[in-house]
Amino acid sequence: MGLKFSYTLLAPIYDSIVASSTQPMRINSLKRLNKSTPQNILINGIGTGLDIPYLPPQHNYTATDLTPAMLEKCKLRMAQHNLDIKLHTADVMHLPFADNQFDIVLMNLILAVVPDPLLALQEASRVVKPSGKIFIMDKFIRAGQFAPTRRLLNLFMRHIATRTDVVFETLLKQCPELILLNDKPALLNGWFRLIDLQKK
């Protein structure tokens, strides 16, 4: 089952599945955007727009999602919160933006969803400016962690909605232009993490 197809099916019920369980973690993630100076921010994988109520209004936002059905729900949420976001139907593994375009790239619950998380991270790195930041909120297995249940679960979940076997440290090693600034647990004893990166 393709990611676009599965999330088209999930769009009508997505909020009821993930909204309440991810809200505290989502709020903490978006606190990283609380700068007074306006920034050009790319939100990769905005989905139905669950981030929107917590986005600081002073920034200039661009957002992507692979699934038009998710973006339609996002537009409704944008109207409710009077927030202008430039929406693009796009694949985060092949972004339609120029190099060095954004001050910040936000990736909430996207790296562990896409088929090729390394390519998604490399694309985020490509479009962020030198000295720009990439803010990540997602679930990862630690390097060297056995995690047999999560690895077994991945055999089924990766075809439906998300991966449960992504090792962030492996991704970062292959992006030498990125510096790790912060890495802290966000939920479920550190399975979900808040990670801050900076481009050299």
159: domain CATH number is 3.40.50.150
Query: What is the arithmetic mean of pLDDT over 7-12?
Result: 71
The rounded distance, in Å, linking the Cα atoms of 35 and 105 is 14
Which residues constitute the domain of residue 69?
A: 3-199
Percent of the chain with pLDDT over 90: 66
Please tell me the distance from the alpha carbon of residue 162 to that of residue 42, in angstroms, as a whole number. Answer: 21
Which is higher by pLDDT, 181 or 5? 181
Overall domain count for the chain: 1
Q: How confident is the model at residue 84 (pLDDT cuts 50, 70, 90)?
A: confident
H helix or E strand, kind and range, residue 149: helix 148-157
Q: What is the mean pLDDT of residues 9-33?
A: 85
Q: How confident is the model at residue 145 (pLDDT cuts 50, 70, 90)?
A: low
User: Helix 68-81 crosses helix 3-10 at what angle (to 10 degrees)?
Assistant: 50
Q: What is the pLDDT of residue 30?
A: 96
Judging by beta carbons within 10 Å of its beta carbon (0-12, 13-18, 19+), is residue 104 exposed, middle or buried? buried
Between residues 86 and 8, which one has the greater pLDDT? 86
Range with the poorest average pLDDT among 126-130, 150-154, 191-195: 150-154
Predicted pLDDT at 159:
42
Q: Is the pLDDT of residue 119 over 50?
A: yes
Mean pLDDT over 125-134 rounds to: 98
Inter-residue contact 85 to 106 (CB < 8 Å)? no
Query: Long-range contacts for 15-22 (Cβ within 8 Å, ≥24 apart)?
Result: 15/48, 15/50, 15/73, 18/50, 18/109, 19/50, 22/50, 22/109, 22/187
Residue with more model confidence, 121 or 148: 121
Q: Is the pLDDT of residue 54 over 90?
A: yes
11-32: average pLDDT: 86
